[in-house]
Chain A
Amino acid sequence: MTKKLRSLALGSALLLALGCQAASISLKDDRGTTVTLPESPKRIVSLLPSLTETVCELGDCARLVGTDRFSNYPATARALPKLGGLDDTSIEALVALKPDVVLVGLSSRLMDRLEGLGIKVVALEPKNLADVQRVLGKLALLLGKPDEAVRIWNRIDGAITQTAAQLPAAARGLRVYYEVDSAPYAAGSSSFIGEILTRLHGRNIVPPELGPFPKLNPEFVVRADPQIIMVGQRSAPSLPQRPGWSGISAVKAQKVCVWVPAESDILVRPGPRMPEAAALMARCLTQAAAGPVALPTAVFNAPPGGMR
């Protein structure tokens, strides 16, 4: 009797342990650190807009309890407590939210501090399309729904392919210069912006060997003579005034696509809204193939607080 009872107890303890094992989640983040959580996190803090958007895309916006200042999409994320910017995150406010896990970008300085306080940190940094797929997979694993990742990635990938397929023939194979900042920094072929552009049959004037976001000699752009320029509304006014730039085909033929801040938000985030980014670029390519591109009618208005 006692023996039976003991074996029963042992068995159930084993079962319990096994059950726990099944619920605990372990994943390797982009630092190469293996992070183990006892169960799928219920309270999540995200400190990178693209990660916020990915968590919400996976249907778990409700698990977010706080974000960085720049996570402004979707609407539910906007209402959450804002914990600061990239380098001025308020650790106190973050700890007070009692998160089960904090999602950060690789360049965040917070990681050691947070882990010292006993908070689990997962560092993920999407930089190109393959990264987006990988990060999506990791987050899905973290949220306990690994199959969702495949479904969502197929949707993203399929939508970009479809947008590319619908482009008119005249809009394909055009030389494009995508300016990220006015120094001038370009989005090269190896950046996620460049990868989307390539899938839309655009010919990026910045070859992949220059890296994702190189600072170019302005002369290089004049010499490459792009047929289309894509640029944010912030740097657009100065563009034709730069020495020698008035002679560039895209400037002469008025084929400069100017992104308003809301569009820039979509374009600069490697996350689930990439199909929208592809649609925006496709719109630009189609318009430019047909004739001069109209400038945005709205005056530039981007209150501080975004990454545009």
Chain B
Amino acid sequence: MTGRLLLLLIGSAALLALGLAIGSTGWSPLQDSDPVMRQILWDIRAPRSIGAWLAGALLALAGAVAQGLFRNPLADPYLLGCSAGASLGVAALLFMMGFSPTATALALRVGMTGAAFVGAIGAVLLTLLLARGVEQSLRLLLAGVVVGVVLGSGSALLTLMNPDILRAMQAFMLGSTGFVGWSAVSIMVTALLACLLVALGCSRSLDALSLGESTAQSLGVRLAMVRVLLIACLALATAAAVAQCGLIAFVGLVAPHLVRSWGPVTHRGLLLLSPLTGGMLLLAADIGARWLIAPQELPVGIITALLGGSYLLWLMHRRPLGLGSRR
């Protein structure tokens, strides 16, 4: 595991260097000479590359937590309604802007990231409320589906009523790392560290949980508390990433599967390795997004879906029984 950890760290560092060297004109490595280039390098490319990595890491961590907690290989960070909540938050904010002077002032104060964050957290709380607590996994999952569908249709309605916001909404839904600055990076670092600590603290319980709920309980796992902690961690990690970068597809689902496909791993390892993998995946996708048709940009979500999807498919056919089974 240490070997893989080291490998992923080196890979991340290499990609980060590549990220610094690729900009709006394609390959354009470090020239620190003139002030505009310096600003582009340190105020745009550096936070953007680090931010993409962090968002990928947050989503992958959330995915690993969700898959462990719900003992379901198809669980992803968005399954408690985070994505629908965040897009409703953003749609409501965009809708409010220009509705009346007071609403505009309020909207400007909250900002897009604030609205997405509040929406994502709010959706999870709503899911918990509808599921009447955290005791039953199935009830949580179903409540998450309901919240996702209802809030999703709410944001679709707002968008339809005001097509002005159509393009901005679409950009949010497909995910973008274009405007990630240092402040966003610091928020995501804080969220990642906090979530990683909590998740690692619960890793033993997740191992026990993979043997079944009753077994875990008989092993002395305080299920209710572990669930609350992990759902809080899942919500925070997802909301932090989604608020800064939009709804990035597939990273959270696929990263834990990639880690498992490299060999057996405990939850401690999974929770450490998944963020590194997810970070690398999203950073690679972001580099692709700005490189392929530079100076135009592809939505990064499209690339993550292509990259992650094709790799998952390849794994699936290479090792028909390896995927989906627990470790």
Overall SS of chain A's interface:
loop
Contact A307 B24 (CB under 8 A): no
Contact B39 A216 (CB under 8 A): no
Contact B99 A222 (CB under 8 A): no
B69 to chain A, nearest CB (A): 35
A305 CB contact (under 8 Å) in B39, B104, B162, B181: B162
Contact B105 A299 (CB under 8 A): yes
Interface code A144-157, partner B: CB below 8 Å = 1, 0 otherwise?
Answer: 00000000000000
In the assembled complex, the Cα of A218 lies from the Cα of B48 at a distance in Å of 11
Give the total number of A-B pairs whose CB atoms are below 8 A apart. 117
A223 CB contact (under 8 Å) in B40, B171, B182, B290: B40
Contact A222 B39 (CB under 8 A): yes
A291 to chain B, nearest CB (A): 23
B31 to chain A, nearest CB (A): 12
Contact B296 A222 (CB under 8 A): no
Q: A180 contacts which chain B residues (CB < 8 A)?
A: 167
Q: A303 contacts which chain B residues (CB < 8 A)?
A: 98-99
B32 to chain A, nearest CB (A): 15
In the assembled complex, the Cα of A237 lies from the Cα of B108 at a distance in Å of 8
Instruction: Spot the interface stretch: A7-15, A19-27, A127-135, A182-190.
Output: A182-190
Contact A304 B178 (CB under 8 A): no
Contact B182 A243 (CB under 8 A): yes
In the assembled complex, the Cα of A23 lies from the Cα of B48 at a distance in Å of 64
Contact A217 B290 (CB under 8 A): yes
Number of A residues with CB within 8 Å of any CB on chain B: 42
Contact A234 B178 (CB under 8 A): no
Contact B296 A216 (CB under 8 A): yes
Contact B24 A223 (CB under 8 A): yes
B92 to chain A, nearest CB (A): 12
Contact B160 A223 (CB under 8 A): no
Q: B105 contacts which chain A residues (CB < 8 A)?
A: 299
B40 CB contact (under 8 Å) in A181, A210, A222: A222
Contact A299 B104 (CB under 8 A): yes
In the assembled complex, the Cα of A243 lies from the Cα of B179 at a distance in Å of 6
Q: A216 contacts which chain B residues (CB < 8 A)?
A: 24, 295-297
Contact A234 B36 (CB under 8 A): no
Contact B99 A217 (CB under 8 A): no
Contact B296 A243 (CB under 8 A): no
In the assembled complex, the Cα of A300 lies from the Cα of B94 at a distance in Å of 12
- B78 contacts chain A at the CB level, 8 A cutoff: no
Interface code A176-204, partner B: CB below 8 Å = 1, 0 otherwise?
Answer: 00001111110000000000000000000
Contact B164 A218 (CB under 8 A): no
Chain A residue with minimal CB distance to B37? A223
Instruction: Spot the interface stretch: A55-63, A84-92, A165-173.
Output: A84-92
- B45 contacts chain A at the CB level, 8 A cutoff: yes
Contact B98 A243 (CB under 8 A): no
B98 to chain A, nearest CB (A): 4
Contact B104 A300 (CB under 8 A): yes
- B5 contacts chain A at the CB level, 8 A cutoff: no
- A244 contacts chain B at the CB level, 8 A cutoff: yes
Contact B98 A301 (CB under 8 A): yes
Contact A301 B176 (CB under 8 A): no
For window 126-163 of chain B, which residues contact chain A by CB distance below 8 Å? 160-163
Interface code A272-308, partner B: CB below 8 Å = 1, 0 otherwise?
Answer: 0000000000000000000000000001111111111
Give me the interface of B with A, judged by CB distance under 8 Å: 23-25, 35-36, 39-40, 43-45, 47-48, 95, 97-101, 104-105, 108, 112, 160-164, 167-168, 171, 176, 178-182, 290, 294-297, 299
Q: List 25 contacting pairs A-B, 8 Å CB cutoff, sorted by A.
A: A87-B160, A182-B171, A211-B296, A215-B299, A216-B296, A217-B23, A217-B24, A218-B44, A220-B295, A222-B36, A222-B39, A225-B36, A233-B98, A234-B164, A237-B108, A243-B44, A243-B48, A243-B179, A243-B182, A300-B97, A300-B104, A303-B98, A304-B99, A304-B161, A305-B161
